[in-house]
Structure 1
């Protein structure tokens, strides 16, 4: 399956005292590098957030407008960057990931398997979204139709704006199927307690 990847890394990390989530470390690698590894195979990848200067040369970078306007605005900015860079080579599917899930590679693998095994038909035709075994959906670990995302962004921009909008609101009209992923695959780091529980640490510690 051909896809492009969009990784959100532009939050304030306010509950982490401003320490960027992208720079936290799990199993010897930053959370951002783990997200990029999970997106291996993408035709193009963009990181939406501050440019640390440490990205691989082929990875695009951009910022949401205005900065810290939230994930929906980040998705819009990332889509625009991919569209500009890829043009007619733009993949039909876009993988969206937040950069704060240390085991997200497991979720991506489960989603790819589900997409490969699904039978033709209209159900879930615009993408797949991760869900934990207890049913918690995680829209920032999903594959979505690029055209459907572009339509959703345009509609949200017209109807109330993207700044501060939730991802669930942005994706509300998409025909998306949830896929149960392994336990812990979408656990994220919002606080230092989360980081400790997940074995995530600061760089150099």
Structure 2
């Protein structure tokens, strides 16, 4: 459900209807837009052409071009590719968490799929970048951008420093959380 608060509205991804269906039938019906992501940018264009829009996660969208992280370079490249294909994304894929949904639709003034036809003809011309230039984006890394971690490796305040070094080397960690006897975060051990 993605809720971090004690009391929160179940509004994302049809959560309220899904919880009700789970209570009544024991089965999660999924949410609108749930399903396998397109296999390629060309498949995305076909989906938008057939249905008018296509929902997918920001992670799946950038994954169409082989990316897993939203660096500024990746964001600009994906924006250029989308513009070249005649597609736009709402909300922008940097405005949501990686597993947040975005809706891809046809750009009003550009012919849908022009970039794909240009590639098929073998033209050496690239699609022009967005005339407005890159839009202001928040590229800050947040906890929500990280994949879900099932087990956090920690050390206790009373442990010897050598007990922190071993897991840091084994897992390639640059730092390790230090917790008290109640597993409350009290600090961090770093190589520095």
Is the TM value for this pair above 0.5? no
Query: Which structure: larger Rg?
Result: 2
Q: Give the TM-score, by structure 1 length.
A: 0.29
Higher-strand-fraction structure:
1
- Which structure exhibits the higher relative contact order, with contacts defined as CA atoms closer than 8 Å and separated by 6 or more residues? 1
